[in-house]
Chain A
Amino acid sequence: MRSRRSRLRPAGVPRRGLILLGLVGSFYFIARASGAGWVIVLLCLEGPVVALAAIWPVFTLLRAHVEVLGNQRDATAGSIATFSLRVQRAGSGVRLQLIVGGDPSGWVAAAGTSQGEITATPPERGIVNVVTVQMEGAGPLGLVTWVRRLELVLPVAMEVGPTPTPVTSDELAGLRAQTDEALSMGAGHDTIKGVRPYAFGDPIRVVHWPATARWGEVMVKEFEGPDAPEVTIVVDLRGDPDRSEAAASLAAGMARAGLRAGLAVSLLTAERAGPSAGSVTSPTLVGRRLARAVTDAAPPAPDAGATVLRVSAT
């Protein structure tokens, strides 16, 4: 991906470089005071080394090319997300970290041309189109460090859903009971529309053993019918920013709990493009919908007669 912006600056006060510079200055004084020609020679060798140590990393960082080869589309705030990076022409080595939404990842080292994965944790919900790569170069002498920050456009916009709040509320208890009843009636009679990975709370009877054997992980059946009880979650994020995020997290928790309970969950949110209403069939879709939800508009009104859960930031 092409970088949008780039900024180069020294990384604080280069103590080692300053010490060496002080040494060079002392040598000059000694040489002038003593008339020792060899000290001048020494100074003439060390001076350029200090200069090289200060300049070389600049060229290394300016020459280095970083691109995000790929990234996962779905992520959850506070959870690790993986990015595939390629660094070219990094010379004798740089260290770099990825900053997603202000939170930096751990440092990794890259030399020459290298490619690999780096993990970062998006701190908050939202759509991430751009990440910042911070490169630090001090090589090859390691005396003066320069920093270059690059803003890179992601190949695929990353939709960061909120961290789901565990829902143990009694609000869902009745609906869960209905669902269990419906499932018990329909189990073995209804058409399987697909399989999905096991999620915490799935009844053991819905495990699809052939798929489990094939995929190597526990898969559960998804039924087309009988009609699962529907619940509509209205997510109104207007209000205090902290409360908005808490509300989004609660909505995510409720939606996931509903899905686990076998409910047909619909989310009503406000997005940048306007009000959005629609069912969500997996935690991934829940995350995407809530990632897109904005805090400055009202969600659409629910259909009359629907079972509605309201989650509000106010």
Chain B
Amino acid sequence: MSILERIKQANARQPAEEDVWVRASVLVAVVAAALAVVDQGVGGPAFRIVVVGGLPFAYWYSWRTRERDGFWRKAVVAVGAVLTLVWFVTTIAPRAGGTFADAQVPLAELLLMIQVLHGLDVPGRRDLLFSLLSSAVLMAVAGTLSVSMGLVPYLVVWGVASASALVLAHHSALAELPSLAGEPGRNEHRRALRPVVKIVAWSMAAGLGLFLVIPPGGTSRALLFPAQILKLLPIPSPGELSNTSLGAADPAAGPVFGAEAKAGRSGGRASFAYFGFSTSVDLSARGRPDNSLVMRVRAARPALWRGQTFDVWDGREWTMSDQHTETLYAPLPIPVRPPSEDGLITGPTGPLVQTYYVVKPGPNLIFGAAPISKVYFPDRQVYELSDGTLRSGVEVGKGTIYTVVSQPSTAGSEALRRADSNPIGTPADIKDRYAQPPVITPRVRDLALRATAVATTTYDKVIDLEDAIATQTTYSLNIPPLPAGADAVDQFLFVDQKGFCEQIATSLVVMLRSLGVPARVVAGYATGLRNPFTGLYDVRASDAHLWTEVWFPGLGWQSFDPTAVVPLAGDQGSLRAGTGLGAYLSHELSGVPGWLEIAVLVAVIAALLTVATVRLSGPWMARRRRPKPSWSDWCLARLEQVGRARGRPRRPSETVYEYASALEEVSPSDGELDRVAALVSRAAFSGHAISDEDRQWVERALDEAMPPGRHRKPEPAAPRAPANVGR
């Protein structure tokens, strides 16, 4: 068969699908998938109206014209598809040279338009199933674009509708054949849909199992580098730090005085923001960021999302010694190389791609696992500080998406221990800036010396100091105010002996500097809780964090988190997609009242018990409900057995008389079977019992009518009570 013939055969007109329920369920699945895509911000208002209104219209039109030849319809669809493709090409052409992420939304729009056009020409079952298949592709597109749990309702509707469509389509195919049992009954569709519940239940159970073992999405080497900004609002002073979430304390808002300054800098704020994302970190300030979602991070493995560093410590506050910025402007990606580390890093590194989806406006810091090597930021212009901190020139508002490629060190503990003997050594500018003797009290210095008395390497000193801090203090967010004139580290280590990340990280840096080790504090976000469904880390305001970076010759700045266990270099991250499912669900359900949890649990157990009871007791109940067979029933069963043995089973529509006559024709018996039928009918329907002699005669006649070797008693055994035939 030639290719042309094959194409003709593939496009040959199919029989029209007459089952409206198949069409309806396919339409629901397609619309759910289309809405899922549209809900990700694809298309403008007019486009959405065309899609949402066009799909039902297209399916209705296709249903009305299913029997027609459809040449012109196909022609219109083909022309429409070509025009849509032209539109797609002209849309993405200006973005040539961008990343694949630039084509994502136009591609989604193209698929939606093709889906609408295809909906105009779905006369047959095969066409409908093709639509169903393409709706699965649309769901995958929506899944690629979605970063929230908002996809769940669409996924549920699409899944149920798809399963229903497949089941109904199969049922429709079977219904085209002659039925062994004659015409189908009235409730065939309801019966056909019964397996859908089982399919959904089994799929979810098996899907959950698969979800717990399958590798997660994403690798270190991603193909997509999304970058998007909804509104370009320039920062008042380009290169300066801006943080609108700090309100009056926003460093870009100019100096603040009096009560406003107190409220912003020293007191607790109603704002969700962390005041460490400013030009200073005041350890006398008290306040706690709320639990609101700040951003979502897509990354193949966990890391600390660094914002900026502080190097100057005055005993109560961290500030920055150098806020000079260098403008980086380039087509995406924007290359980034921390100037202080040029040629100084020889240790192993591994790429880590992270995409940040900003949910709440925050600082204009570009977060990323350190050190950052490339940035995909939609403004194409960023500002770099000497410590590697990146700032944007525009406000980072809700809906902003940017991607960062980092080259974090993969050095393990042994490599860190060997680093001290690296001939590269520590550059003088690093030593001058980060290893100067700090503001420190004598007893803190003594503690540092005592704790590291036996340590021979920088790494061991860090570990020993972490242990000392852990021994000396406990973690608490509720600490008393810092007294006027008190040294924050001394107060934490020897007076209050409790504190949080700011006190802990500061203590480690101060003690390391007292030993001549270059160190600094870093403000950023902890990894956040991984959402196993989206595969993204949900970073909340309360994940704002301060930790420590220590310089290692040849390896550069290495992160240490004395507050908690820092993700070690080389951490593989989640090896399974479902990792953290329990933790995520318990966190998400933590706001649900306890009584509701118990009620749901009880309801689920009750439902399972009910189902199990019904399933187990069903056969027993059926047996109980079955009427006790009468003598007439037994005789009729016996007569049918005789008939089957003679190769003439009883037809469903035949009366006892008709059947007996038919058997007489097949194998004449001098009218005995006719008489049997008469007596059996009389016993069943006359309301009067027949005599015992007649009964015995009937039973004997039936026995004799049975061919030799086939004297098997029918079930149930012959009762003696008169009753009805009931057939």
Contacts and interface: CB of A to CB of B under 8 A. Distances in A.
B214 A111 contact: no
Nearest to A1: B644
A108 B643 contact: no
Given A38-B144, A38-B146, A93-B170, A33 B647 contact: no
A110 B205 CA distance: 30
Nearest to A111: B174
Contacts of B647: 70-73, 155-156
A272 B577 CA distance: 70
A254 to B, nearest CB: 27
* Size bracket, chain A contacts: 35 or more
Interface in B198-251: 199, 202-208, 210-211, 214-219, 222-224
Contacts of B456: none
A109 B348 CA distance: 67
Could you tell me the dominant secondary structure of chain B's interface residues?
A: helix
Interface in A67-84: 69-73, 84
B175 interface: yes
Interface in B157-206: 159, 163, 166-167, 169-171, 173-175, 177-182, 191-192, 194-196, 199, 202-206
Interface stretch (A4-12, A112-120, A176-184): A112-120
Given A37-B577, A44-B210, A141-B167, A108 B195 contact: no
Contacts of A155: 644-645, 647
Nearest to A138: B170
A41 B577 CA distance: 9
Contacts of B166: 53, 140-143
A34 B224 contact: yes
Interface string A1-36: 000000000000000100110010011001111111
A44 B195 contact: no
Nearest to B213: A44
B97 interface: no
A87 B300 CA distance: 54
Interface stretch (B129-137, B483-491, B612-620): B129-137
B101 to A, nearest CB: 9
Interface residues of B, number: 73
A126 interface: no
B636 to A, nearest CB: 15
Interface string B123-156: 0000001000100110110111110000100010
Given A19-B133, A39-B140, A47-B210, A34 B222 contact: yes
Contacts of B644: 69-70, 155
Given A38-B151, A72-B647, A109 B178 contact: yes
A74 to B, nearest CB: 9
A31 B223 CA distance: 10
Interface stretch (B533-541, B557-565, B687-695, B713-721): B533-541
A19 B136 CA distance: 12
Given A35-B217, A108-B178, A93 B171 contact: yes
B10 to A, nearest CB: 12
Contacts of A70: 643-644, 647-649
A108 B651 CA distance: 18
Given A44-B207, A48-B207, A35 B170 contact: no
A42 interface: yes
Most buried by A among B182, B207, B534: B207
Most buried by A among B181, B218, B536: B181
A42 B204 CA distance: 11
Contact of A42 (B139, B208, B355, B534): B139
Nearest to B169: A142
B646 interface: yes
A32 B169 contact: no
A52 B166 CA distance: 12
Given A111-B174, A116-B180, A140 B195 contact: yes
Given A39-B140, A106-B178, 16 more contacts: A32-B217, A35-B535, A37-B216, A38-B143, A48-B202, A48-B206, A49-B203, A84-B649, A107-B177, A108-B177, A114-B179, A139-B171, A139-B195, A141-B166, A155-B647, A156-B647
